Copies of this chain bind each other. A is one copy, B any other.
Amino acid sequence: MKKTSFGYRAWFQPMVGAVSSHPNAVVKHPDCNFAAEECSRGLNDVSISADVITLDIDASLPAEGYKIAANGGSINITGSCANGILYGVYAFLAKIRMGEDASSINISDAPAVKMRILNHWDNGDGSVERGYAGRSLLWRDGKLGYDPERLKDYARLLASVGINQISVNNVNVRPLTARLLTDAGLADLVEVAAIFRPFGIRLIISVHFDSPCWIGGLQTSDPASPDVEKFWADAAARVYKAVPDLAGFLVKADSEFNLGPLAFGHTQDVGANVIARALQPFGGTVYWRCFIYNCLQDWRDTKTDRPKAAYDTFFPIDGKFEQNVVLQIKHGPSDFQVREPNSPLLGATKNTRQAIEFQVTQEYTGQQKDMYNWAVQWEEVFDMPFNETRSTRDLVGANKEVEAVVGVNNTGDDENWCGHLMAQANLYAFGRLAWDPALTAAAITREWTALTFGTNPAVFNPIVDMMLASRLTYEKYNAPLGICWMVYPHHHYGPSVDGYEYTKWGTYHRADHVAIGVDRTSRGTGYVDQYQPHLRNIYANIETCPEEMLLYFHRLPYDYKLKSGKTLLQHIYDTHFEGVEEVRAFIKTWESLENLLPPDAYAQVRKRFDLQLENAREWRDIINTYFYRKTGTPDEKGRKIYK
Spell out A's residues near B (CB within 8 Å). 299-300, 302, 495-499, 502, 510-514, 618, 621-622, 625-626, 628-632, 642-643
Chain B residues near A511 (CB, 8 Å)? 629
Chain B residues near A630 (CB, 8 Å)? 512-513, 629-630
Quote the shortest CB–CB distance from A503 to chain B (angstroms): 9
Q: Are A622 and B502 in contact (CB under 8 A)?
A: yes
Chain B residues near A498 (CB, 8 Å)? 496-498, 626
Greatest chain B CB density within 10 A among A299, A302, A513, A514 is at: A513
Chain B residues near A626 (CB, 8 Å)? 498
The contact sample of 21 A-B pairs, CB cut-off 8 A, is: A299-B642, A495-B502, A496-B498, A496-B499, A496-B502, A497-B498, A498-B498, A498-B626, A499-B499, A502-B618, A502-B622, A502-B625, A510-B629, A510-B643, A511-B629, A512-B629, A512-B630, A513-B513, A513-B630, A513-B632, A630-B630
Chain B residues near A510 (CB, 8 Å)? 629, 643
Apart from A300-B642, A495-B502, what 14 extra A-B contacts exist at CB < 8 Å? Answer: A496-B498, A496-B499, A497-B498, A498-B498, A499-B499, A502-B618, A502-B625, A511-B629, A512-B630, A512-B632, A512-B643, A513-B631, A513-B632, A514-B632
**Chain B residue at minimal CB-CB distance from A625:** B502
Q: Is the interface of A mostly helix, strand, loop or mixed?
A: loop
- Bound form: Cα–Cα A302–B626 in Å: 16
Quote the shortest CB–CB distance from A400 to chain B (angstroms): 43
**This chain: copies in complex:** 2
- Bound form: Cα–Cα A502–B513 in Å: 19
Chain B residues near A631 (CB, 8 Å)? 513
Chain B residues near A513 (CB, 8 Å)? 513, 629-632
Q: Which of B300, B621, B632 contacts A300 (CB 8 A)?
A: B621
Quote the shortest CB–CB distance from A45 to chain B (angstroms): 44
Quote the shortest CB–CB distance from A296 to chain B (angstroms): 12
- Bound form: Cα–Cα A632–B511 in Å: 11
A-B pairs, 10 with minimum CB distance? A512-B629, A300-B642, A502-B622, A498-B498, A513-B513, A513-B632, A513-B630, A300-B621, A630-B630, A513-B629
Quote the shortest CB–CB distance from A370 to chain B (angstroms): 18
**Chain B residue at minimal CB-CB distance from A512:** B629
- Bound form: Cα–Cα A512–B628 in Å: 8
Greatest chain B CB density within 10 A among A302, A625, A629, A631 is at: A629
Chain B residues near A632 (CB, 8 Å)? 512-514
Chain B residues near A497 (CB, 8 Å)? 498
Chain B residues near A299 (CB, 8 Å)? 642
**Chain B residue at minimal CB-CB distance from A618:** B502
Quote the shortest CB–CB distance from A627 to chain B (angstroms): 10
Quote the shortest CB–CB distance from A523 to chain B (angstroms): 16
**Chain B residue at minimal CB-CB distance from A642:** B300
Quote the shortest CB–CB distance from A505 to chain B (angstroms): 13
Chain B residues near A625 (CB, 8 Å)? 502
- Bound form: Cα–Cα A622–B298 in Å: 11
- Bound form: Cα–Cα A628–B495 in Å: 23
Quote the shortest CB–CB distance from A474 to chain B (angstroms): 19
**Chain B residue at minimal CB-CB distance from A640:** B300
- Bound form: Cα–Cα A135–B629 in Å: 43
Chain B residues near A628 (CB, 8 Å)? 512
- Bound form: Cα–Cα A621–B299 in Å: 10
- Bound form: Cα–Cα A631–B513 in Å: 7
- Bound form: Cα–Cα A621–B301 in Å: 12
Greatest chain B CB density within 10 A among A302, A495, A625, A631 is at: A625
**Chain B residue at minimal CB-CB distance from A617:** B300
Quote the shortest CB–CB distance from A263 to chain B (angstroms): 23
- Bound form: Cα–Cα A512–B624 in Å: 12
Chain B residues near A502 (CB, 8 Å)? 495-496, 618, 622, 625
- Bound form: Cα–Cα A621–B501 in Å: 12
- Bound form: Cα–Cα A643–B510 in Å: 7
Chain B residues near A496 (CB, 8 Å)? 498-499, 502
- Bound form: Cα–Cα A406–B626 in Å: 40
Chain B residues near A629 (CB, 8 Å)? 510-513, 630
**Chain B residue at minimal CB-CB distance from A503:** B496
